[in-house]
Amino acid sequence: MGVVHCGAIFIRICQFYFVQCLCSPEAGEGRKMNNQFRREDIDFYSNGTRCSAWLYLPNVDKRCPVIVMAHGLGGVREMRLDAYAERFAAAGYACFLFDYRNHGASDGNKRQRINVKEQLADWNSAIDFIKKNDSIDDSKILLFGSSFSGGHVITLSAHRIDILATVAQCPYTNTLATVKTVSPLSALKIFPFAIADVLSSITGYHPVMIKLVDAPGKVAMMAVSDYKKVFKLMPENLKFVNKAPARSVLEFFKYSPSRYTKNIGIPIFYAVCRKDTLAPAWATIKCAKRSKKATIKEYDCGHFDIYLGDYFENAIVDYIGFFDKITKG
């Protein structure tokens, strides 16, 4: 009897740790959580270009609120946004997670180009597309954006009338604030490449590429001290393209989502990283206070830390709680 009893205890312990591994945020890449949801590959079109998306659907017999999601500057959906989507889906939310045109699994013949107008068009196309899905409650359209896409969801929340609530995580808000994070040396090095790339695009030659992320002083769009943390967001099998056409840096100078924050009338959650090297906390808080129904929460971490570990765990619980309050009253 003693041996049988010990064996039963051992089995229960193994079961416990197996469940914990499945539900761990670090196990987010590609894993399903206890059959609480399913993931479907879906394509939609934005201005004639095929965009690739994952639709996460909770296993319930009713229409679900949907969270539309996309990544930040040069990012793709596998870079930990799938972890967020899985946790949202396990909490009862459908998630529509897509790659922008020219990025990841989406089509486009100008690969890696970062263009604000095109990306906002992709967001609008994604929202309009998923609203028509029979599994979606089209009265409960929610947005989640992080970093550069955090700026996009701010802009969309001010301009669309069909958005119920939004989460903007460490969002890009202000041109001047972001420029201040770039070292003068990096800025001086980037602009000759940007000018060369513009000239190259006019004459029809191949784009002049620079790195997306690198160390301070290097030629990169994000030349920051914690740049190596970007690579922790990637699964081993991801073929991440760490480059973009140099003219993409000029997009920052004509795009400041902060100008729209005072026009946002819906509930919006601003997740602020106190140690952010790319989206300074002071700038995010300043613009967030202009939104009528803002929730502002500070996390004691850097720009890339919030995607992982305890910071991720704390943030995702806050986001789900925020959306629950809006959708469930």
pLDDT in tens, 278-321: 999 999 999 999 999 999 999 999 999 999 999 999 999 999 99
Q: Phi and psi of 124, rounded to 5°?
A: -60, -40
- How far is 276 from 192, CA to CA, in rounded Å? 27
Task: Please report the pLDDT score of residue 34 as a whole number.
Answer: 54
Based on the domain organization, do 62 and 77 belong to the same domain? yes
Rounded (to 5) percent helix, strand, coil in the chain:
45, 20, 35
- Are 316 and 26 a contacting pair, CB within 8 Å? no
As a whole number of Å, the end-to-end CA separation of the chain is 52
Residue tagged 């469930």 (tokens): 328
Enter the pTM of the model: 0.88
49-58/64-70 β-pairing: unpaired
C-alpha angle with apex 213: 211 to 215, nearest 5 degrees? 105
Based on the domain organization, do 1 and 45 belong to the same domain? no
- How far is 244 from 78, CA to CA, in rounded Å? 18
Based on the domain organization, do 11 and 44 belong to the same domain? no
Task: Please report the pLDDT score of residue 223 as a whole number.
Answer: 87
Largest CA distance in the chain: 83
Based on the domain organization, do 293 and 152 belong to the same domain? yes
- How far is 250 from 15, CA to CA, in rounded Å? 53
Please give the chain's pLDDT, 329 residues, in tens.
443 344 443 333 333 333 333 333 333 334 344 589 999 999 999 999 999 999 999 999 999 999 999 999 999 999 999 999 999 999 999 999 999 999 999 999 999 999 999 999 999 999 999 999 999 999 999 999 999 999 999 999 999 999 999 999 999 998 788 777 776 777 788 989 999 999 998 888 789 999 999 998 899 999 889 999 999 999 988 989 999 999 999 888 889 999 999 999 999 999 999 999 899 999 999 999 999 999 999 999 999 999 999 999 999 999 999 999 999 97
Counting other chains too, the contacts that 14-22 makes at CB distance below 8 Å and 24 or more residues apart are none
Q: Phi and psi of 153, rounded to 5°?
A: -70, -25
Domain count, the chain: 2
Based on the domain organization, do 50 and 18 belong to the same domain? no
Element (H, E) at 145: strand 136-146
C-alpha angle with apex 106: 103 to 110, nearest 5 degrees? 55
Based on the domain organization, do 85 and 181 belong to the same domain? yes
**Which residues have a Cβ under 8 Å from the Cβ of 207 and sit 6 or more positions away?**
110, 113, 197, 200, 201, 245, 246, 247
Candidates 57, 61, 101, 97; CA nearest to 78 is 97
Based on the domain organization, do 228 and 286 belong to the same domain? yes
Based on the domain organization, do 103 and 19 belong to the same domain? no
Instruction: Quickly count: other Cβ atoms within 10 Å of residue 97's Cβ.
Output: 26
The CATH number of whichever domain residue 304 belongs to comes to 3.40.50.1820
**Which residues have a Cβ under 8 Å from the Cβ of 234 and sit 6 or more positions away?**
78, 79, 240
Based on the domain organization, do 212 and 273 belong to the same domain? yes
| Radius of gyration over every alpha carbon of the chain, rounded to an integer in angstroms | 21
Determine the structural domain holding residue 232 and report its residue range: 34-328
Based on the domain organization, do 21 and 79 belong to the same domain? no
pLDDT tens across 193-228, in order? Answer: 999 999 998 888 789 999 999 998 899 999 889 999
Structure token pair of residue 327: 């959708």
Based on the domain organization, do 118 and 8 belong to the same domain? no
Based on the domain organization, do 89 and 169 belong to the same domain? yes
